[in-house]
Structure 1
Amino acid sequence: MVCQECKKKQATVHFTKIINGEKIELKLCESCAEQRGDLDFDGQQPFSVHQLLAGLLDLEEMPNVKGQTTTSNAGICKNCGLTEMQFAKIGRLGCTQCYQTFGARLNPLLKRVQGRSSHNGKVPKRSGGDIKLKREIEKLRESLNRYVIEEKFEDAAVLRDKIKALESELTQGGGA
């Protein structure tokens, strides 16, 4: 997208300003954004997604006794050798084993950023009936567990019956 001010450079700053309930959206290049004065970076470069990840993972470089920099939460993937600091800098994991190595640290991050730590994807409306039924059963089971913990046994019994009905529908192939 081209800058809305100079109409020459690539827009890299997406700016939203709300004043008295009126929303103004601008897509500007860095130089036009700085000239407008709406953005104040105090002479520093704006942070990147990688810096955001590093901040969310609490990965900060700390000098050790010998003057070398280390991380407070150093973890290394045994398969590809990727460290948490390298992950924070590049913003990508190195291999599938990294998910097991860094999983305990990534799950809270994913929950904060996405709301969930697992990816469910979308199900097509015309197909995927079994998948929809399985997801509905999973949601009902979560609610059932919550009701049991809260000792709402009547509500739990209703959900239990719904789950049984959906499971029998699933085994009979009624979801397709």
Structure 2
Amino acid sequence: MECQECHKRPATLHFTQVINGDKTEVYVCEVCAKEKGYMTYPEEGYSLHHLLSGLFTSTNENQQNTARQQTSNLQCPQCEMTLSEFKRVGKFGCSQCYQTFEDYLDPIFRRVHSGNTTHHGKIPARKGGDMRIRKQVDAYRDELQRLIKNEAFEEAATVRDKIKELEKEIGGDEA
């Protein structure tokens, strides 16, 4: 297919635009796409930083304007880095930045880490048998405390029995 603008080069890009239910498709070459403003490239090209910094921006224009107004004065007291500088650079200036920009980090981490904001680690399949069981025991103990607090004693007894079984497996007498 040839470019719909210049009719000289092959069309390498396809743009679809839907406005009020009207669908418009355009097939253009890269040169015409740049000339007509369909796409723009930074002079130095795209880097990994540009790709990741796209995760820091929200898609809703109102959210962007509100966030800009709220964060325009947000600055780290120790290194004086602003939130906008952090978004541009992709790195913090000091350890105090984590506390200063704490409210803005969770959404970023969720996008970067597929919805997770905490790291639980990974246990090797071959060597981590006891470690996996100990983690399960700890999880059961937390559940047991919650059940006791909620006075669900029958369920708590079941969880207690599971803890005892797992402790027998690892051969320890953890109390």
TM-score by length of 2: 0.50
* Rg (Cα) greater in structure: 2
Q: Which has the higher contact order (CA 8 A, sep 6+)?
A: 1
More helix by share: 2
Which TM-score applies when normalising by structure 1? 0.50
